[in-house]
Amino acid sequence: MSACRAGCGACCIAPSISSSIPGMPQGKPAGVRCIQLDDSNLCRLFGKPERPNVCLAFDYDAELCGDHRDSALLNIRWLEECTG
């Protein structure tokens, strides 16, 4: 079983987030880097109560995330376009 790739950050860039994020009170549009994503592509809110519920609910999925960060970005962007 695989797990989330440390430093990937695709789920913090590709999808839109409509709920408030600390530093982004209106959420974020698809394709925009979350302000809470650090230079190593790690979430500054991970494990903290301020982390939005939508982020807590997102989990690694081998089919969605693929074998590489670029695959994850493409797949999540495609899913966003299909559902947005």
Per-residue HEC secondary structure of the chain comes to CCCCCCCCCHHHCCCCECCCECCECCCECCCCCCCCECCCCCECCCCCCCCCHHHHHCCCCHHHHCCCHHHHHHHHHHHHHHHC
On whether residue 22 sits in a domain, the answer given is: yes
Its domain, for residue 29, covers 10-83
On whether residue 4 sits in a domain, the answer given is: no
pLDDT of residue 26: 96
On whether residue 62 sits in a domain, the answer given is: yes
Look at the chain and report how many structural domains it folds into: 1
**2 band by pLDDT with thresholds 50, 70 and 90:** low
On whether residue 24 sits in a domain, the answer given is: yes
6's CB contacts (< 8 A; 6+ apart) are 42
On whether residue 51 sits in a domain, the answer given is: yes
Asked if the model's pLDDT at residue 3 lies above 80, the reply is: no
